[in-house]
């Protein structure tokens, strides 16, 4: 279904409010009609702000003219979160700066369009010894604003948690264009934040028993309103303990637009190693996960037969399968699924102890133990290629 762009007079006003770009052509709207999901929805248009300071006025204008807004990161969402019949705000082109680093506090402040790999590379280049823990497979293009909207986790969420556990504060624009800063204690400092916090607290406390009973207790729960976190904060310290950035995180831009974010950083590991375990079936691989978790890995990731098969058909990914040839030599059966089990350690001796504990946990499973950075990089490259490879599947099977 085709949707007409916003009227010419509205388009002219939008253009006056930004030094960036306002794109309304069928071609441009078509480019933003898809993401990494199967959905295709033609947006009303696209706004690419040149400066973050322009965004509140743009949002206020859209509010006054009843134009729905959809903030978009890299478009790597798998469930259609970044497509809709709305005016898409794309921060990735211009609003992508690393604004501040505080090494002593292990924090940094970023704009929403910064790419995760770019952030961690900049932290490394400046010799901070720190990095942002949540590491999605799409790290080469995932925007931090999108990760906040999605509450992304990543392979190492076992130790670093999700984005919400690594978020201190957000500067946001609300639906009417008002700007606020959300952080723990903001209700005591800002009357407007306190008013919103009181309204949210009334809802959360009213349904406290339902929240405690029915909210999923899974390690990687992403998307949705984190009412359970707000309830925990209220019970811990009342309104002044509430951090509304934790409610925005996972809300996919439905509560506010992120203007900047203060992130928690973690120290880089001293050393790491990767075990690649081979299994005859997916069921066997999945059955091994819980025992492996008890060995305290930094990551456990699955490579199933679908990824292996599609990688064999891909010229770029095919060379990455060589590690499974080595596994096959150690197995009496075909390797149809694999687990990556990574460990962080403070020394080579500690890493060896981790590997020994893993071997005791799954003694009959063929394994490769990788120590060299280039070997581990090749293995992780295959895991990061998994989602793009699946897009090559034909028809509904995708």
3-state SS record for 110-145: ECCCCEHHHHHHHHHHCCCCEECCCECCCCCCCEHH
The sign one gets for the Cα dihedral 200, 202, 205, 206 is negative
pLDDT digit string (tens) for 287-337? Answer: 999 999 999 999 999 999 888 888 888 888 888 888 888 887 777 788 899
Q: Indicate if 224 and 275 belong to the same structural domain.
A: no
End-to-end Cα spacing for the chain: 23
Mean pLDDT of 153-160: 93
Q: What is the pLDDT of residue 76?
A: 84
Euclidean distance between CA atoms 314 and 281, whole angstroms: 22
Examine the pLDDT at 3 and tell me if it is beyond 60.
Answer: no
Q: Indicate if 122 and 243 belong to the same structural domain.
A: yes
Q: Indicate if 302 and 342 belong to the same structural domain.
A: yes
Q: Indicate if 65 and 106 belong to the same structural domain.
A: no
- Mean pLDDT of the residues in the chain: 93
Q: Which two tokens stand for residue 255?
A: 């509560």
Last residue within a domain, chosen from 35, 58, 90: 90
Examine the pLDDT at 259 and tell me if it is beyond 50.
Answer: yes
**Number of separate domains in the chain:** 3
Mean pLDDT of 95-124: 98
What's the predicted TM-score (pTM) here? 0.92
Examine the pLDDT at 391 and tell me if it is beyond 60.
Answer: yes
Three-state DSSP at 75 gives coil
Examine the pLDDT at 128 and tell me if it is beyond 90.
Answer: yes
Q: Which two tokens stand for residue 250?
A: 């996972």
Examine the pLDDT at 151 and tell me if it is beyond 60.
Answer: yes
Q: Indicate if 177 and 76 belong to the same structural domain.
A: no
Examine the pLDDT at 387 and tell me if it is beyond 80.
Answer: no
Quick check: is 199 in a domain? yes
Q: What is the pLDDT of residue 52?
A: 98
Examine the pLDDT at 390 and tell me if it is beyond 80.
Answer: no
Q: What is the pLDDT of residue 273?
A: 98
Q: Indicate if 261 and 326 belong to the same structural domain.
A: no
Q: What is the pLDDT of residue 1?
A: 42
Q: Indicate if 253 and 181 belong to the same structural domain.
A: yes
Quick check: is 397 in a domain? no
Last residue within a domain, chosen from 239, 266, 293: 266
pLDDT > 70: what percent of the chain? 98
Q: Indicate if 262 and 275 belong to the same structural domain.
A: no
Q: What is the CA radius of gyration of the chain?
A: 23
Q: Indicate if 301 and 381 belong to the same structural domain.
A: yes
Quick check: is 374 in a domain? yes
* CB-based contact 22:382 (threshold 8 Å): no
Q: Indicate if 244 and 375 belong to the same structural domain.
A: no
Strand ranges across the sheet with 271-279: 299-303, 337-345, 271-279, 367-370
- List the domain range (segments joined by +) for residue 159: 98-266
- CATH code where residue 73 lies: 3.30.43.10
Euclidean distance between CA atoms 152 and 258, whole angstroms: 15
């Amino acid at each position: 279904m085709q949707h007409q762009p916003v009227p010419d007079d509205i388009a002219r006003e939008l253009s006056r409010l930004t030094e960036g770009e306002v794109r309304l052509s069928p071609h441009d709207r078509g480019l933003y009609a898809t993401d990494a999901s199967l959905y295709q929805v033609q947006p009303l248009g696209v706004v690419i702000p040149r400066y973050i300071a322009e965004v509140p006025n743009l949002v206020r204008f859209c509010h006054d003219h009843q134009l729905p807004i959809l903030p978009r990161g890299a478009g790597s969402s798998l469930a259609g979160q970044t497509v809709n019949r709305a005016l898409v705000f794309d921060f990735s082109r211009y609003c992508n700066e690393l604004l501040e680093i505080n090494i002593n506090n292990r924090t940094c402040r970023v704009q929403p369009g910064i790419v995760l790999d770019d952030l961690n590379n900049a932290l490394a280049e400046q010799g901070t010894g720190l990095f942002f823990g949540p590491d999605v497979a799409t790290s080469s293009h995932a925007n931090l604003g999108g990760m906040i909207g999605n509450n992304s986790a990543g392979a190492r969420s076992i130790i670093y948690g999700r984005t919400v556990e690594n978020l201190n504060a957000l500067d946001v624009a609300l639906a009417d264009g008002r700007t606020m800063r959300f952080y723990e204690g903001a209700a005591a400092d800002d009357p407007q934040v306190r008013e919103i916090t009181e309204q949210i607290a009334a809802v959360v406390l009213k349904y406290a028993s339902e929240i405690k009973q029915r909210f999923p207790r899974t390690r990687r729960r992403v998307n949705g309103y984190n009412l359970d976190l707000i309830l925990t904060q209220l019970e811990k310290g009342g309104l002044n303990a509430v951090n509304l950035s934790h409610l925005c995180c996972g809300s996919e831009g439905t509560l506010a637009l992120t203007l900047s974010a203060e992130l928690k950083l973690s120290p880089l590991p001293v050393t790491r190693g990767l075990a690649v375990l081979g299994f005859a079936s997916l069921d066997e691989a999945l059955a091994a996960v819980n025992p492996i978790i008890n060995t305290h890995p930094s990551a456990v990731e699955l490579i199933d037969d679908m990824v292996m098969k599609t990688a064999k058909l891909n010229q770029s990914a095919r060379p990455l399968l060589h590690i499974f040839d080595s596994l096959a030599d150690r197995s009496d059966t075909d390797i149809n699924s694999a687990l990556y089990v990574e460990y962080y350690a403070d020394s080579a001796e500690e890493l060896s102890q981790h590997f020994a504990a893993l071997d005791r946990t799954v003694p009959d499973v063929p394994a490769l133990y990788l120590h060299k950075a280039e070997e581990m990089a090749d293995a992780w490259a295959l895991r990061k290629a998994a989602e793009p490879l699946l897009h090559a599947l034909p028809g509904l099977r995708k």
